[in-house]
Amino acid sequence: MVIDDGLMIILVQSIVVFLILLLISFSVPKLQPLLYAAIFFYFLFHLLNTIVFPFGKYFVALFEPLPEPFAKLLIGSAILFYVSELIAKHISEAGYGSLASMTHFAVKIAILTLWMQQTATLIDLLSKLITK
């Protein structure tokens, strides 16, 4: 199965990244925050491309009988929220808590804007039901 191989590769890569970060923290402690951030974002995007996005496509295919945009919006919103939470936590641990809160808030607003069309349709339907 492709996902199992990908998960094992990611596990091995995470161990290698951890060892590299330990080596960096002992050999070049002043560059450690910069290199940690670079490795974090590289590994995050690699993880998204190899595991999360293929899993998301597979998961969306499972919910194909549902009305069209809802499964994609739910899965996409969950992935965006989780990635935003990871990035905000990383920024907060670097000592920039207010910037982390702002980025997480911006992603929450972006997720809400993804749902605006469906929300407007629902409000229109509810207002028609109430006025009848």
Q: What is the pLDDT of residues 36-94, one digit of tens each?
A: 888 888 888 888 888 888 888 888 788 777 777 787 888 888 888 998 898 899 888 88
CB atoms within 10 A of CB 84: 19
- pLDDT, tens digit, 9 for 90 and up, residues 81-93: 998 898 899 888 8
Domain locations along the chain = 1-62, 67-132
Q: CA angle, corner 109, sides to 103 and 111, nearest 5? A: 105
**Cβ 37 vs Cβ 90: under 8 Å:** yes
Residue with tokens 């993880």: 47
